[in-house]
Amino acid sequence: SGELTARRQALTSAKEKLAVLATDNATLSRLQGEYKETEVALAASRSAAKAAEQILIELRGRLDTQQAEQPELEKHLQALRSGHQRLRDLLKLRRLNADAETLARQVGKAETVTKEISALESRRTVLPALTPAQLRKIEEHSESVRTLRAQLLALGLTVELTPDSDAVVHNLGDSVAENQILPAGQPHRLQSPHALDLRLEGWGRVLIRSGSQDAQSAAADLAQAEAALTEALQQAGVANVDAAREAVATRKELDVQIKAATQGLTPHLGDHKDLDALREAAATAKHRSETLVGLLSPTSDEGAFSLTDLETAEATQSEAVPAAEKSLAEFTKKLTQLRAEERGAIEKVQETTQLAGE
């Protein structure tokens, strides 16, 4: 029985040791499985890290390439902008030159018309300041004198002389009359309102007076009418009725010409109130044109361009500049996206490298 107990105890101990060994075996198997899993995970991490590094390298290559292209794109856009601005400035210069030339021509035409107006006004200034009403008054006086003279002649004296031989007669009553030669046998009639004072060569003086009261009254009326006519002519500054009529007609004609010339001046002045304002505008336009020429210094080739050529080129550049700006904006957007991808790739490399290190 003692031996049996000992054997039982030994068996129990062996069983316990066998159970411990079985447990250690299971643990070892589990640890070996975990080790293999870890090796697989480490290999995957190292592979992921390598792949992440490769992606980062490729991204950086693309980024470097695009960053190298950016200055050229910006330089191209700046060149387009500069060229467009110069075309706009050249067009502005053409328009300024055209405005200056137009205004200069307007000044020339306006000055010509203004000189014509000044000449017409000078001619009008030297004319007697005679109104149509004054002319009518003078004509009324003249008509009165003519009528009274006719009446006086009708009431006055008429002497008819028929010499037997050639004779010379002088009318002493007319201080401006010259001696008259009367051919022999031909009658010669002399008239006077109220008296004839003659000197006949070879015979003597002959004085004939009219005693008609009507003639004397008519003579007085005539003298009064002639005095009124003379006074009216003196006030008007003319010598006679014909001169008065000519003065009024000439003034009227000059007024019409001055009015027409003044109306003709308006289109040349344009929007400017007078010739001085037009001259000032022309001078300003010329100065602006010359200033821009000094700033631009156009080349001979640029000067040879027609206005149509410049407008066409400017229109083309107007489309090219926005297109280049859009292209650069899209390029910049892609570049920004690449930089963001680069940052993500760097983080991915750091993460996978850390996992591989653990």
- Taking 60 as the threshold, does the pLDDT of residue 358 lie above it? no
Give the percent of the chain with pLDDT over 70: 86
Helix pair 275-296, 2-125: axis angle to 10 deg: 140
- Taking 70 as the threshold, does the pLDDT of residue 288 lie above it? yes
Q: What is the DSSP pairing of strand 167-171 with strand 195-200?
A: antiparallel
Q: Three-state DSSP class for 226?
A: helix
The region of weakest confidence among 51-55, 103-107, 160-164 is 51-55
- Taking 80 as the threshold, does the pLDDT of residue 247 lie above it? yes
In this structure, are residues 346 and 126 in contact, taking their beta carbons and an 8 Å threshold? no
In this structure, are residues 84 and 317 in contact, taking their beta carbons and an 8 Å threshold? yes
The region of weakest confidence among 206-220, 230-244, 247-261, 292-306 is 206-220
DSSP for 236-289 reads: HT-SSHHHHHHHHHHHHHHHHHHHHHHHHHHHHHTT-SSHHHHHHHHHHHHHHH
What average pLDDT does range 268-295 have in this prediction? 93
| Beta carbons within 10 angstroms of residue 231's beta carbon | 11
| Distant-in-sequence, close-in-space partners of 199: CB < 8 Å, separation ≥ 6 | 169, 170, 172, 205, 206
Q: How far apart are CA 97 and CA 311, in angstroms?
A: 16
pLDDT computed for residue 113 by the predictor: 93
What average pLDDT does range 37-63 have in this prediction? 72
> Binning pLDDT at 50, 70 and 90, where does residue 175 land?
low
Tokens describing residue 263? 């109306």
More confident residue, 283 or 38: 283
CA 49 distance to own-chain centroid = 74
Rg of the Cα atoms in the chain: 64
pLDDT computed for residue 257 by the predictor: 94
pLDDT computed for residue 42 by the predictor: 62
pLDDT digits (tens, 9 = 90+) for 328-354: 899 888 888 878 877 877 777 777 777
pLDDT digits (tens, 9 = 90+) for 68-113: 888 888 899 899 999 999 999 999 999 999 999 999 999 999 999 9
- Taking 80 as the threshold, does the pLDDT of residue 154 lie above it? no
> Binning pLDDT at 50, 70 and 90, where does residue 1 land?
low
Q: What angle do CA 78, 84, 88 make, to 5 degrees?
A: 145
Average pLDDT, the chain: 83
pLDDT digits (tens, 9 = 90+) for 193-226: 667 788 888 888 888 776 556 667 777 787 888 8
| Beta carbons within 10 angstroms of residue 225's beta carbon | 20
Tokens describing residue 227? 């005095």
Q: How far apart are CA 284 and CA 287, in angstroms?
A: 5
Closest CA to 118 of 261, 223, 248, 322: 261
What pTM, to 2 d.p., does this model score?
0.55
In this structure, are residues 173 and 196 in contact, taking their beta carbons and an 8 Å threshold? yes
Hey, what amino acid is at 45?
S
Q: How far apart are CA 231 and CA 133, in angstroms?
A: 15
What average pLDDT does range 152-173 have in this prediction? 78
pLDDT digits (tens, 9 = 90+) for 30-42: 766 766 766 666 6
Q: How far apart are CA 196 and CA 117, in angstroms?
A: 55
> Binning pLDDT at 50, 70 and 90, where does residue 127 land?
confident
